[in-house]
Structure 1
Amino acid sequence: MTVDAVVSVRGVSCRLGGREVLHDVDLDVRAGTLVVVVGPNGAGKSTLLSVVSGDLAATAGTVTLDGRPLADWTPVELARRRAVLGQSHDVSFGFTVAEVVAMGRYPWTSRDDVAADADLVAWALERTDTAHLAERSFRQLSGGERARVSLARVLAQDTDLVLLDEPTAALDLRHQEEVLVLARGLARAGRTVVVVAHDLSLASAHADELVVVAEGTVAAHGTPAEVLTADLVGRTYGLPVEVHRVGDRLAVVPTAATARPDDDIPSPRS
């Protein structure tokens, strides 16, 4: 474990449904960094985030948070130390947006600081561009709006470790950029942020470090410039690519298709 590692993963494997999804993973996440986890579909990215959060137990290996094994943390301690955004954004009842975001304050209810709670909820709504939705029913929102409100709930939880699983998946171009800018801002303020994402160019513009997960293990870990090479990306995704620098980010451009040719697609039946 590095000296300033907030999260340390050592020799972690995880089996789900009889299949080994993660195998012998080692990873350190340092304080005050934005780490973006990328890789092909089914590579184990979300599983790794779930193991790091403590929501999923590893089959083998250890995960420590602030030097303590995750098993040693109580649920309340974990909820005050780390916040998690999953891929699913739904609630069972007709809560308003403001009520959903306020749920992020539940781990802190024993402190009974209503004014501070209200300030954090208002800040989270503003930073996710959802303040205008505050009185709307969460269940009446679009997919992208639900994703941003769910992110606001995570922000309102006010933790030092923030774990976000595909927070940009349902968002338009503007809001994708805003979410990664926000994640970088959290890291610059001293928090530790881990994001699972698919857009390599977006990740390269904002991440301090990229972690490439392939076939259940860490294939590469370093700065975007170190990781996003044509050779590594091509081997990882099974697709020839070129990597070009465009402003402050690296643009990954496929150079050939690997799908079957168009003439292999059957004509519609009459």
Structure 2
Amino acid sequence: MTSGPLAITGFSAGYRNRPVLTDFSLSPIPEGSVTALVGPNAAGKSTLLRGLAGLLPAAGSVRLGGIELSALGLAQRAGHVAFMPQSLPQGAELSVLEAVIGALKASPLAEFDGGLTEARRRAVDVLDRLGIVDLALDGIGRLSGGQRQLASLAQAMVRAPKLLLLDEPTSALDLRHQLDVMTVVRELAREGRIVVAVLHDLTLAAAWADHVVVLDHGRCAAQGRPETAITPEILRSVYGVDARVERCSRGRLHIAVDGPVPG
């Protein structure tokens, strides 16, 4: 799979009478990579993802390789981009399998022109990859929070997008399922996709992401390799905490928070 980098330039997005991101730009995000969006609450992380997905009014340039996504309608954009929200609607009556098949058939993918049998096969393959094929016939509304998150991820993955936008994909998961999900995320990147994920756990972001973008009040406070973007100085200025960024015995970054910044 080849698509080219994701380039975000002069991007603005927000809500009625409340702009969140204004003239926001990032260094190009290469294909085959995982980028973590981190930052305190209300920093603009989810707004950025929803704006990139075309789910919020936005302005500026969003280019995926040679494609200007901002010039596409929502249906056309869905052929290149998939968005995983923080949670699925509580009142959904569909089964997990039906929801994943629906996500596939609702997207105008050039790669998919099969019938229901092929759609079912692809949906089951994705559920199996996430370890939740046993939930295929369960109703979405009866799932636990973590199970609903995995089902939502399956809906995004089944379309095989070039750009995958994940809003807190691990927040409701236990440690084992966090590991499973991030392993799949890395596999998706190795297939040539671009994955951009909102993560609150900085140690998780440092361990799994190729690049980290630190947001603060709608601006980019830092970006780069985890060891470049996550520093005691950034944590102090953005999060308001005194913290140590150290490497464990296996060489992985670990963030230890000592306390709030005095005063």
TM over 0.5: yes
Deviation string, structure 1 residues 108-157 (Cα, Å, up to 9, x no partner): 58712444423321121012221111111111111111111111111111
- Distance between the aligned counterparts of 2:82 and 2:126, measured in 1? 13
How many corresponding residue pairs? 256
Further displaced range: 128-137 or 110-119: 110-119
Let me know the Cα RMSD of the aligned residues: 2.1
Give, as a single letter, the amino acid of the residue that structure 2 aligns with 1:16. Y
Equivalent in 175, 191, 199 of residue 177 of structure 2? 175
Q: Who is 2:51 aligned against? A: 51
Map 1:1-270; keep pairs closer than 5 Å: 5-27=4-26, 28-58=28-58, 60-90=59-89, 92-106=91-105, 107-108=107-108, 111-246=113-248, 247-257=250-260
Letter in 2 for 1:123: D
| TM-score scaled by length of structure 1 | 0.87
What are the Cα deviations for residues 41-60 of structure 1, in whole angstroms up to 9, with x where unaligned?
A: 000011111111122122x4
Alpha-carbon separation, structure 2, partners of 1:180 and 1:147 = 13
Larger-gyration structure (1/2): 1
Contact 1:202 1:249 survives alignment (8 Å) = no
Letter matched to residue 241 of structure 1: A
* Structure 1: segments with no counterpart, 5+ residues: 261-270
Deviations 1:52-108, CA, capped at 9 Å, x for gaps:
1122122x4322233333343243332221111011312654211111121221125
Cα deviations by residue, 1:166-204 (Å, 9 ceiling, x for unpaired) = 111111111112111111111011111100110000011
- Identity of aligned pairs, percent? 36
| SS of residue matched to 1:252 | strand
After superposition, the Cα gap between the structure-2 partners of 1:57 and 1:64, relative to the gap in structure 1 and judged at 3 Å, is farther
**1:265 aligned residue:** none
Higher helix share: 1
Q: Which runs of 4+ in 1 moved over 6 A?
A: none
Instruction: Name the stretch that deviates more: 116-125 or 136-145.
Output: 116-125
The residue that corresponds to 1:266 in the other structure is none
The question of whether the paired residues in 2 share the 8 Å contact of 1:104 and 1:155 is answered with no
- Equivalents in 1 of 2:52, 2:152: separation in Å? 20
Matched residue SS, 1:201: helix
1-structure distance, mates of 2:236, 2:196: 24
Partners of 2:163 and 2:251 in 1: CA distance: 26
Secondary structure of 1:12's match?
strand
Q: What is the deviation of 1:259?
A: 9.5
